[in-house]
Every structure is written in structure tokens, then in C-alpha cells.
Amino acid sequence: MSNNFGMSNNFNPDDLTPVVIAGLRTDETDEEFEHTLQELESLCEACDLEVKGTLTQTLPHPDNATWIGSGKAEELRISVCAVEAEYVVCLGNLSPSQMKNLQKIVEVPVWDRTNLILEIFSRRARTREATLQVECAYLQYMMPRLTGMWQHLGRQSGGGGSRANKGEGEKQIELDKRIISHRITELKKELTQIEKTRDVQRQGRVRDGFPHVALVGYTNAGKSSLMNKLIDMGDTSVDKAAGKKVFEENMLFATLDTSIRKISIPGRKPFLLSDTVGFIENIPHDLIKAFRSTLSEVKYADVLLIVIDSSDPHYKAHKKITEDTLRDLDALTIPKIYVYNKSDLRDSDLTIKNHPGSDSVFISARTGYGIDDLLDALQDIFRSGNRTIDVLIPYTSGDLLNRIHNEAEVLYESHEADDTHVKADCPSSLADFIEKTLGK
Ligand SMILES: Nc1nc2c(ncn2[C@@H]2O[C@H](COP(=O)(O)OP(=O)(O)OP(=O)(O)O)[C@@H](O)[C@H]2O)c(=O)[nH]1
Ligand SMILES: [Mg+2]
């Protein structure tokens, strides 16, 4: 991805880039403001930026011209010089003109929160789909901001407004806008193609008849850690091999690409589990739109595991943000289990016993506490979608009979001349698969 500030290029993980954070407080409480500032620092860390200073301002509403007001902007310039910061990162989203004006005063590039999140995403994207999605969101973000980039060429308009009379800067902006629009169209075309392939793959998985469970939740809640824990508990050594494990790390947005794994735990019905990008407060709108197809794994899941970091003092707000994002994705009505993770960090949680039938389970992906209760809750949901099948399985289709034995509850079984007569309480996905295979 081409970046106007060029940070993605020649990136060396050992180099931390010095930055100063600028925070603008309008009507937030002390506590809320402090929390969002801390989260911005964590986002900076996730982007290999070293926060050398923080400057805050309180105003009834953002200043139209410079966002934090011209006096504070001057103070910011002095801080930037003092610590030799290479960027200013703002807590909030700035309009294109606020960004341009502030940049002029502080004399280093200014990033807002959206820009920072886009930069993290561009570094994490691994698959073709994620890379294209981020590029598309980035270009959409850049479009209205092009004006600021060409101000050095000036607007030497000769008046009259005809094309021929436009200044160099303005011509360059128009040209760039055309190139970017064209690129966005190309990206969208390719993404639609990838989405089609994804649909075909999903239909293939539906045909396999395994229930599909999706991990969702705020970034850093422990979704990938839970996936790895379940892979570890699996019964095939192949699944435990490093290649099957997903990346988990104490940083925001460690996961960007969707991973799907089959989880086969002895004595439990196998299911497919997908791990997806985490959510965050005020997630940039273009980014959500860009990631809609990746997040479609969530929309088509049979069960959602909403993972919550119960040790985070703001876990209730994180839960609400997750629910709001799921509502935007039309996924809030899917059966769900609230998984309160990191119980090991909260003494009180370890005295809480999980109750069968509840939609909340306390676990620790690190110690394994409560994972069996979580699996019980999952199996209860699978069972609630069960139906009874009454079928004749030819002796030549031993694999089907095996799956019934492994994944369903056999109510009746007798061996006839050519086939086995079975009645079984089956997950509906498996029942559909068996009846389709037998041509019923
Ligand atoms: N103490 C403790 N730490 C945990 C637990 N589960 C996860 N962690 C840690 O929390 C951090 C984040 O874990 P991840 O699994 O990467 O979180 P995630 O939800 O996948 O995060 P994103 O991919 O950024 O959305 C890592 O440092 C994990 O080791 C837990 O049960 N207890
Ligand atoms: Mg993750």
C-alpha cells in the first residue's frame, strides 16, 4: 500500500518512531478521557510508535480551524521540537482542513485515530483479501485529504475557473482523484471476485455438516488464545502443529485475517471455529465497510462466542461496543455465549461457579479454567438445533455411520440385509448433510 507518510515502507521493527499525542477533551468524564488516551497509546505501541509526550486541551467543541486551538497548536509545535517527534497523533478524527492547518503549524505530519488504525491494519494484513480491503479503506480515507498534500504547489488559479487556468496543485489533485477513483473501482472488482470464492468455500463447509462457531469481541480480549487452547485440546496432532495455531499477542489488532480451524475434542461433537479481527470503539466507518466480507464469517455462524476480557475495568463498555458492531453486521440474533476470559487475573471470578444453561461462562484461555463448561454450553446450543433422523445407511457408506456415532446420539440401530437402520438425534447441519448424501 502506498502511504502518504511513507511509514510502511522500509519498516524496521527495531526502530521506534518518536511521536507526541494530542488529546482534545470536550464532554468526557476524567475517567473516560484517561481511558481513551491510554487506548491511543496502546494503538501507538501496536504501530511501533514511541509516545514521547502527551498534550491535552479542553474545549467545549473542537476548533474549526486547528482542532485544538491555535495557542495549543503552537505549544504542540514546541513539544514536537523538544522531543524531536516525527509525527503528531491526535485522539479523535480530524476534518481534512483541520488536519492540514494543524500540520502547517506543528511542521510534522499529523495523524488522526483513523489514520493510525489504518496504518496498523496495513502492517498486519497478510492475505490478498485483507491487503485489498485495507488499501480500499485507505484510499477512501485519503480522497478528501488530497488537498493538504499538494499545498506546496499552490493554487495559482488565473481566475475564471476553466481547466486550463487551474494552478499546478489543483491540477495534480484532480489527476490524483481520478487515479484513486479508478484504483478503488479496480479493488472493489477484485474484492467482489474474492467474496464469490469465499461464498463457494462457505457453501462447501455447510455441505460438510459441521456447525460453525465464530469468535468475536473487542481487540485483545483473548479470541486467538482461546482458539489455540481449543486446538491444543484437539485429538489430532496435526492440529497442534505450529502451522495450525493462530497468532496471539498482547497488542491491539494482533489478528486481521480470518482463520478457520476444525476443532475435534475427544468426546465432543466437532465444529468449525473462526477467529476474526477484533472490534474497537469508534471503529472507522470505511474500515467496517471494507471488512464486511471478512466479517461475513460472523454473519453466517451458527453460534457466536463473544469473548470479553473480564479483567479490564472497561469490559462492560467493550461488551456493548461488540454488540453494537454485531447489530451493524445483522448478526446479533445468532445464538451466543458470553465468554468472560482472563478469569485468572480476577480472584473473584475463580470463586464463581459456571451454571449450566446460562449464556455466560467464565474461563481462562491461559489456565484452561472453565473451558469444559464452555464446551458444555456449546454442545447444549448444538443440541437445541437437533432433529431426529430415521435413515437406512448402506453398508458401503460406513463413513456416514461413523459420523452419526461420533456426532449424534443414536436412539435405535439395527442391521438389515443391505444397510443399517438408524434413528438418531442429530445436529441439524449433520442431518441435512446425511439426508442430502442419501438422496432423501
Ligand atoms: N492472563 C491471561 N491472559 C490472557 C488470557 N487469554 C489471553 N491472554 C493474553 O491476552 C493477550 C491478547 O490475546 P489474543 O488472544 O491475541 O487476543 P485477541 O482477542 O485475539 O486480540 P486481537 O487479535 O488483537 O483482536 C495476549 O497477551 C494473551 O496471552 C487469559 O485467559 N489470561
Ligand atoms: Mg487475535
pLDDT score of 160: 41
| Contact call for residues 233 and 322 (beta carbons, < 8 A) | no
User: In the chain, what are the domain boundaries?
Assistant: 17-123, 136-195, 210-383, 386-437
pTM of the model: 0.80
Judged by DSSP in three states, 283 sits in coil
Strands of the 386-394 sheet, one edge to the other: 386-394, 419-427, 409-415
Query: Among the CATH numbers 3.40.50.11060, 3.40.50.720, 3.30.450.70, 3.10.129.10, which is that of 17-123?
Result: 3.40.50.11060
User: Per-residue DSSP letters for 33-63?
Assistant: HHHHHHHHHHHHHHTTEEEEEEEEEE-SS-B
Residue-wise pLDDT tens digits, 189-214: 999 998 888 888 877 776 677 889 99
398 contact partners, CB below 8 Å, separation of at least 6: none
Q: What separation in angstroms does the CA of 327 have from each of 287, 302, 381, 384?
A: 16, 16, 21, 23
345 lines ligand 1 (CB under 6 A): yes
Q: ∠ CA 386-389-390 to the nearest 5 degrees? A: 160
C-alpha 234 to ligand 1 mean position (Å):
20
DSSP 97-110: HHHHHHHHHHSS-E
pLDDT tens per residue, range 60-116 = 999 999 999 999 999 999 999 999 999 999 999 899 999 999 999 999 999 999 999
Instruction: For residue 248, give the ligand 1 atom closest to its CA.
Output: 16
Output 203-208 pairs: Cβ under 8 A, ≥24 positions apart.
205/260, 205/272, 206/429, 207/433, 207/436, 208/433
As assigned by CATH, the class of the 210-383 domain is: alpha beta
Smallest CA-to-CA distance from 91 within 63, 54, 65 is with 54
Q: What is the pLDDT of residue 10?
A: 45
Where the chain has pLDDT below 50, the residues are 1-11, 152-164, 239
pLDDT of residue 221: 96
pLDDT reported for residue 72: 96
Q: Which of 215, 220, 319 has most ligand 1 atoms within 8 Å of CB, for mutation?
A: 220
Cα–ligand 2 centroid distance for 201 (angstroms): 22
Half-sphere exposure of 199 (CA within 13 A, CB side): 7
Ligand 1 close to Cβ of residue 223 (< 6 A): yes
How close is the Cα of 365 to the center of ligand 2, in Å?
Answer: 12
| The pLDDT of residue 5 | 34
Does residue 248's CB lie within 6 angstroms of at least one atom of ligand 1? Answer: yes
User: Tens digit of pLDDT for each residue in 167-181?
Assistant: 666 777 788 888 889
* Dihedral sign computed on CA atoms, order 319, 321, 322, 326: positive
Candidate of 224, 311, 369 to mutate for ligand 1, largest count of ligand atoms within 8 Å of Cβ: 224
For ligand 1, whether the C-beta of 254 sits within 6 Å is yes
The residue whose C-alpha atom lies closest to atom 30 belonging to ligand 1 is 342
Q: Cβ–Cβ contacts within 10 Å for residue 437, how many?
A: 16
- What atom in ligand 1 is closest to the CA of residue 343? 31
CA distance 111 to 100: 10
**In the sheet that 110-111 helps form, which strands lie side by side, from edge to edge?**
49-58, 17-25, 87-91, 110-111
Distance separating alpha carbons of residues 65 and 73, to the nearest angstrom: 11
295 CA → ligand 2 middle, Å: 14
d(CA 93, CA 283): 11
Establish whether domains 17-123 and 210-383 are of one fold.
yes
